[in-house]
């Protein structure tokens, strides 16, 4: 089990944040590689407080003048620490980044893992893609009130509260060409939505096993009309062929076609991968995590 060890107090939060964050604590334990700091119950005026984990690349403390790109990840409890992951299997991003930095396949980067809350589904469903007072999440399910969706508040939290704090507390490169967002399933949806709603903040999205079927695939239409012009943004998409992922291929193909029609170039500023036999879980995403990391953080 991971342990939290007190380290130096954090700098004052950006003015956007409701109240000071508790001092960062270092997370150590089996399955945690490198320097991982936890800001417990990070406050917000927009959404519920939650833990935020920050992983620092090797050499961060020694290279005092170096600045780094930043990747924001959803479902943060599953990203680094197996003891906090749903299935006790984490994505292994700390191990993957250590390997990739070591062999020069990615730029050293800061990874910010934002934990979810009991309102995960309300925070990760793209609000502006949904029409009417309610929608049917999946066939046969009861109607879900559209008013309960708070994805726009969640993205505003990332862009106007958390990012200013990270920019002040750590040493990031702050522009969109060095700021990325990634998640899986509903986290893939909110990652794509983040770039569409905040293209001046996020320059790329990693959308892993994206749950496009939500509400009959209505988010696909939103992508076709709201994806930013190509040239300054990058999108990574993938899906498996087992479990829930078996539903994804026709949806992803429509998204890919819309991206190409917009001018995105496969292999350049967008990629879309199919993983035969891959299911919908942390173990499957851990197996291929290096692929989106290289695409977003390539030298």
Q: What is the pLDDT of residue 208?
A: 98
pLDDT bracket for residue 133 (50, 70, 90): confident
In tens, the pLDDT along 225-244 reads 999 999 999 999 999 999 99
CA atoms within 13 A on the CB side of 127: 16
Average pLDDT in the 47-51 region? 97
pLDDT bracket for residue 11 (50, 70, 90): very low
Residue-averaged pLDDT of the chain: 92
Q: What is the pLDDT of residue 134?
A: 81
Q: How far apart are CA 281 and CA 269, in angstroms?
A: 26
Q: What is the pLDDT of residue 4?
A: 59
- Whether the pLDDT of residue 125 is over 90: the answer is yes
Higher-pLDDT residue of 12 and 222 is 222
pLDDT bracket for residue 18 (50, 70, 90): very low
Which of 43-52, 63-72, 123-132, 257-266 shows the lowest mean pLDDT across its residues?
123-132
Q: What is the pLDDT of residue 187?
A: 98
Q: How far apart are CA 204 and CA 223, in angstroms?
A: 14
- Whether the pLDDT of residue 277 is over 90: the answer is yes
pLDDT bracket for residue 46 (50, 70, 90): very high
Q: What is the pLDDT of residue 57?
A: 98
- Whether the pLDDT of residue 10 is over 50: the answer is no
In tens, the pLDDT along 176-235 reads 999 999 999 999 999 999 999 999 999 999 999 999 998 888 899 999 999 999 999 999
- Whether the pLDDT of residue 104 is over 60: the answer is yes
Give φ, ψ of 121 to 5 degrees.
-65, -35
| CB-count exposure of residue 29 (10 Å: 0-12, 13-18, 19+) | middle
| CB-count exposure of residue 102 (10 Å: 0-12, 13-18, 19+) | exposed
CB contact burial 65-101 (16+ within 10 A = b; e otherwise) = eeebbbbbbbbbbbbbbbbbbeeebbbbbbbbbeebb
Number of neighbours of residue 158 by Cβ within 10 angstroms: 23
pLDDT bracket for residue 2 (50, 70, 90): low
Give φ, ψ of 139 to 5 degrees.
-55, 130
Q: What is the pLDDT of residue 9?
A: 35
């Amino acid at each position: 089990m991971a342990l939290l060890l007190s380290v130096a107090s954090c700098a004052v939060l950006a003015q956007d944040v409701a109240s000071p964050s508790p001092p960062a604590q270092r997370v150590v334990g089996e399955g945690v590689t490198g320097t991982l700091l936890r800001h417990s119950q990070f406050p917000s005026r927009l959404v519920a407080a939650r833990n935020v984990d920050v992983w620092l690349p090797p050499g961060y403390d020694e290279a005092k003048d170096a600045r780094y790109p930043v990747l924001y990840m959803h479902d943060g409890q599953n990203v680094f620490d197996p003891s906090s992951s749903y299935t006790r299997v984490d994505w292994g991003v700390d191990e993957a980044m250590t390997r990739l930095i070591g062999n020069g396949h990615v730029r050293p980067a800061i990874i910010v893992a934002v934990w979810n809350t009991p309102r995960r589904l309300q925070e990760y469903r793209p609000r502006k893609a949904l029409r009417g007072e309610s929608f049917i999440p999946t066939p046969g399910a009861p109607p879900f009130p559209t008013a309960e969706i708070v994805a726009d508040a969640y993205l505003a939290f990332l862009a106007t509260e958390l990012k200013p704090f990270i920019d002040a507390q750590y040493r990031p490169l702050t522009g969109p060409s060095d700021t990325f967002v990634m998640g899986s399933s509903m986290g893939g949806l909110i990652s794509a939505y983040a770039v569409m709603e905040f293209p001046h903040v996020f320059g790329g999205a990693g959308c892993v096993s994206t749950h496009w079927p939500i509400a009959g695939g209505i988010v696909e239409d939103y992508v076709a009309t709201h994806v930013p012009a190509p040239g300054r943004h990058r999108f990574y998409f993938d899906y498996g062929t087992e479990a829930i992922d078996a539903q994804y291929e026709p949806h992803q193909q429509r998204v890919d076609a819309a991206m190409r029609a917009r001018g995105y170039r496969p292999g350049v500023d967008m990629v879309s991968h199919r993983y035969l036999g891959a299911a919908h879980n942390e173990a499957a995403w851990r197996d291929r995590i290096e692929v989106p990391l290289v695409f977003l953080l390539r030298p």
